Amino acid sequence: MGAVIRQIWDRNAQELWIYVGLIALLLAAYLFKRHIRIFWTVLKLHGPPIYPFIGNANWLYRKDILEVMAYKAYKDYGSIARFWITLIPYVVLLEPEDIQVVLASSKNTKKIVFYRLLDNFLGKGLITSEVDTWRTHRRVLQPAFHLSVLQKFVDSFSECADRLSSKLVKCAGRELDVTGFVNDAVYEILNETVLGVDIAQKVREDGTVDLDDLPFRKGQMVVPYRLIHPWLLVDWIYRLTTTGRQEKKQSQDLTAACQRMIDELRRKKQSSSSSESCSPTLENEKEKKTSLLEYMLEQSEKNPEGFGDEDIINECCTFMLAGQDSVGTATAMSLFLLAKHTEWQDKCRAELDQIFAADSGGGDPARPATMQDLKAMRTLEWCIKEALRLYPSVPLFARTLGEDVTVAGKHVIPSGCGVIILPYTTHRLPHHFPEPHSYRPERFSPENSEKRHPYAYLPFSAGPRNCIGNKFAILEMKAMISSILRKCKLGTIEGKTEVKPKFRLTVRASGGLWVTVNQR
Ligand code: HEM
């Protein structure tokens, strides 16, 4: 055999090289046929100019990225565009019909590869986890976000909201950036509802809350930095850097803090179950505050193999991290927009006055809000929804397709391709939201919402992998904003009447959100 090959080689080496090359090409085409299909599909689409190695990742650093998303993306590139992150091509979908095809299918629940870089910022729980783990955990956790369970968090929402509004009252007459005040209250709510920290025990004499021993506010967003320095995408290289080491330490601190909370809760449960006389009556049990951690421990006791301590820790971190900036931004934006549009502030206040009138509920107009009160705040809900339309806290998210999908009736996007969704752009398409850049909460009245495509409004994503904390967030925001509006009147400050949104994977307001506060 060797002799035969040598004979052919001697006679016609050039021809043999061509055959070898052709076979190698065919083999590569076979092995990479999925990637080739994806490249071929994406190359036919319009999109911004691509740079070597980083692709379009530099956009994540551009100061005007949100402005481009809001005003130019659709005009310049159309409803289906391409976007490269490093060497990987993605399809961007902007029209609700096309978005629905992707998000509504349970086959497209896989996240894109870069979500793994978010572990430190969002934990290793539901948001970033692989499909199999996600499916099991989502099934375990979904019931905890049912309204009947959220009912048990309402007292925590109302108490933290009351502390927030009292702090603002103390600042009456001053100009202030509401962002910090709101973020503190959101953090307190999460500590109580997720971890079960008794916040009332932590209030210092000056009214501030001592949560300094917990590490859930220290994460850094490093994804854009790693994307435009692609060698840092190699984990072992990244871990050698100062940021990489800090990130590892932060992750260890989060794990240790959650484990401490789990151990403490287990100890408490053991000691309360051993003292029979303290067992609560059914009525007390209904009233009792609870936490997501407590719920998760119960689930783990039922199924320790499928949902163990490590899973609890990952999900705890995710709730603590995913529920912070998202709610903080949306609440502060809602307050700022109400300060700017006083006619809507007045409408919300009139609604609140009616809900808390002396002859309704417990008869005390200053009483804390109940679940029933929160549900009745419809005008306030429109205002929150409109703030989330204009400034969706999560302006971008992505999926990997698990099946071929056809969009706009003609483009087939192959299975395995990543798809990017930009609520920040879709929310401002004029054919779905007329006068899209104006603040018009009445868009969300039942009659005005009726004809709108269900996937045109996506602040919480949609479909099976939507935000599990959606209802939690709306109730929490209503509790905070209503408490403030019941005690204060908000106004704007000359020269500080415009939001300067900036992109940090969640939307932030550059320079803060400044308002005047006057006691009612
Ligand atoms: C205004 C507030 C909020 C907004 C705008 C928001 C938005 C979102 C969005 C867009 C997603 C999908 C992300 C993706 O597909 O990559 C998501 C997922 C998620 N959110 Fe929220 N969120 C908010 C509040 C919360 C809160 C308060 C919690 C928890 C207490 C929470 C927990 C989660 C979790 C665990 C997921 C992953 C769900 C899954 O994959 O099954 N979110 N959120």
- With a 6 A CB cut-off, is 397 part of the ligand 1 pocket? yes
Q: Residue 130: which pLDDT band, with cuts at 50, 70 and 90?
A: very high
Q: Tell me the percentage of the chain whose pLDDT exceeds 70.
A: 94
Residue for token digits 């204060």?
488
* Atom number, ligand 1, closest to the C-alpha of residue 393: 5
CA gap 50, 56 in Å, rounded: 6
The tokens for 349 are: 């206040």
Q: What is the CA radius of gyration of the chain?
A: 26
* Residues flagged as binding site: 467
Contacts of 137 (CB under 8 A, 6+ apart): 125, 126, 129, 307, 311, 315
Task: Say which range, 115-119, 172-176, 356-360, has the weakest mean pLDDT.
Answer: 356-360
Closest alpha carbon to 476 in 164, 82, 54: 164
What amino acid is encoded at 125 in this protein? G
pLDDT score of 362 more than 70: no
Q: Residue 222: which pLDDT band, with cuts at 50, 70 and 90?
A: confident
- With a 6 A CB cut-off, is 327 part of the ligand 1 pocket? yes
List pLDDT tens digits, range 451-510: 999 999 999 999 999 999 999 999 999 999 999 999 999 999 999 999 999 998 889 999
Q: Residue 186: which pLDDT band, with cuts at 50, 70 and 90?
A: very high
Which pLDDT does position 185 carry in this prediction? 97
Distance 335 CA to ligand 1 centre (A): 21
Which pLDDT does position 277 carry in this prediction? 47
CA gap 10, 33 in Å, rounded: 35
Residue for token digits 């060497």?
87
Residue of 113, 191, 331, 467 with the most ligand 1 atoms within 8 Å of its CB, for mutation = 467
Which pLDDT does position 289 carry in this prediction? 78
| Sign of the C-alpha dihedral computed for residues 393, 395, 400 and 401 taken in this order | positive
Contacts of 296 (CB under 8 A, 6+ apart): 140, 141, 144, 307, 311, 312, 315, 316
State how beta strands 411-413 and 80-85 pair. Answer: unpaired
Q: How many CB atoms lie within 10 A of CB 280?
A: 11
* Atom number, ligand 1, closest to the C-alpha of residue 329: 1
Q: Residue 358: which pLDDT band, with cuts at 50, 70 and 90?
A: low
- With a 6 A CB cut-off, is 187 part of the ligand 1 pocket? no
CA gap 421, 93 in Å, rounded: 6
Instruction: Report which protein residue has its CA nearest ligand 1's atom 35.
Output: 126
pLDDT score of 359 more than 70: no
The angle formed by the CA atoms of residues 487, 371 and 388, to the nearest 5 degrees, is 70
Residue for token digits 């087939």?
412
Q: What's the mean pLDDT in 83-105?
A: 96
DSSP conformation class of 193: I
Which pLDDT does position 363 carry in this prediction? 64
Q: Report the CATH number of the 33-519 domain.
A: 1.10.630.10
DSSP secondary structure string for all residues of 218-252: -----HHHHHHSGGGGSHHHHTTSHHHHHHHHHHH
Q: What's the mean pLDDT in 159-178?
A: 94
Q: How many CB atoms lie within 10 A of CB 389?
A: 24
- With a 6 A CB cut-off, is 468 part of the ligand 1 pocket? yes
Under 8 Å between Cβ of 427 and 392? yes
pLDDT top residue among 356 and 14: 356
Which pLDDT does position 360 carry in this prediction? 60
Q: Residue 169: which pLDDT band, with cuts at 50, 70 and 90?
A: very high
Q: Residue 354: which pLDDT band, with cuts at 50, 70 and 90?
A: very high
pLDDT top residue among 12 and 93: 93
Closest alpha carbon to 125 in 331, 296, 303, 326: 296
Distance 470 CA to ligand 1 centre (A): 7
Which pLDDT does position 218 carry in this prediction? 75
- With a 6 A CB cut-off, is 473 part of the ligand 1 pocket? yes
Q: Residue 327: which pLDDT band, with cuts at 50, 70 and 90?
A: very high
- With a 6 A CB cut-off, is 330 part of the ligand 1 pocket? yes
- With a 6 A CB cut-off, is 296 part of the ligand 1 pocket? no
Maximum mean pLDDT: which of 57-61, 139-143, 500-504: 139-143
The angle formed by the CA atoms of residues 335, 341 and 344, to the nearest 5 degrees, is 85
- With a 6 A CB cut-off, is 109 part of the ligand 1 pocket? no
pLDDT score of 271 more than 50: yes
Which pLDDT does position 1 carry in this prediction? 65
Instruction: Report which protein residue has its CA nearest ligand 1's atom 7.
Output: 460
Task: Say which range, 160-169, 223-232, 254-263, has the weakest mean pLDDT.
Answer: 223-232
pLDDT top residue among 72 and 276: 72
Instruction: Report which protein residue has its CA nearest ligand 1's atom 6.
Output: 460
* Atom number, ligand 1, closest to the C-alpha of residue 472: 27
Specify which residues 176 forms β-bridges with.
515
Distance 319 CA to ligand 1 centre (A): 8
Instruction: Report which protein residue has its CA nearest ligand 1's atom 21.
Output: 467
Distance 1 CA to ligand 1 centre (A): 64
Task: Say which range, 224-228, 349-353, 415-419, has the weakest mean pLDDT.
Answer: 224-228
Q: Residue 518: which pLDDT band, with cuts at 50, 70 and 90?
A: very high
Instruction: Report which protein residue has its CA nearest ligand 1's atom 17.
Output: 467
Helix, strand or coil, per DSSP, at residue 312? helix
Under 8 Å between Cβ of 336 and 499? yes
Instruction: Report which protein residue has its CA nearest ligand 1's atom 18.
Output: 467
* Atom number, ligand 1, closest to the C-alpha of residue 464: 41
pLDDT score of 286 more than 60: no
Closest alpha carbon to 478 in 197, 174, 195, 189: 189
Closest alpha carbon to 251 in 300, 194, 318: 318
- With a 6 A CB cut-off, is 83 part of the ligand 1 pocket? no
Complex ipTM = 0.99
- With a 6 A CB cut-off, is 471 part of the ligand 1 pocket? no
Contacts of 258 (CB under 8 A, 6+ apart): 195, 312, 313, 316, 317
Which pLDDT does position 19 carry in this prediction? 81
Under 8 Å between Cβ of 515 and 339? yes
Q: Residue 119: which pLDDT band, with cuts at 50, 70 and 90?
A: confident
pLDDT score of 40 more than 50: yes
pLDDT score of 254 more than 50: yes
DSSP secondary structure string for all residues of 123-150: -SSTTTS-HHHHHHHHHHHGGGGSHHHH
Which pLDDT does position 160 carry in this prediction? 96
Alpha helices for 401-449 (secondary structure H)? 423-426, 446-449
pLDDT top residue among 227 and 162: 162
Which pLDDT does position 413 carry in this prediction? 95
Which pLDDT does position 280 carry in this prediction? 45
Task: Say which range, 66-75, 188-197, 275-284, 404-413, has the weakest mean pLDDT.
Answer: 275-284
Contacts of 358 (CB under 8 A, 6+ apart): 364, 365
Under 8 Å between Cβ of 239 and 230? no
Which pLDDT does position 187 carry in this prediction? 96
Which pLDDT does position 282 carry in this prediction? 45
Overall pTM surpassing 0.95 (yes/no): no
* Residues flagged as binding site for heme: 467
Q: How many CB atoms lie within 10 A of CB 289?
A: 15
Which helix (DSSP H) or strand (DSSP E) does residue 260 occupy? helix 242-274
pLDDT score of 269 more than 90: no
Interaxial angle between packed helices 342-355 and 378-390, expressed in degrees from 0 to 180 and rounded to the nearest 10: 150
Q: How many CB atoms lie within 10 A of CB 57?
A: 22
- With a 6 A CB cut-off, is 326 part of the ligand 1 pocket? yes
pLDDT top residue among 34 and 240: 240
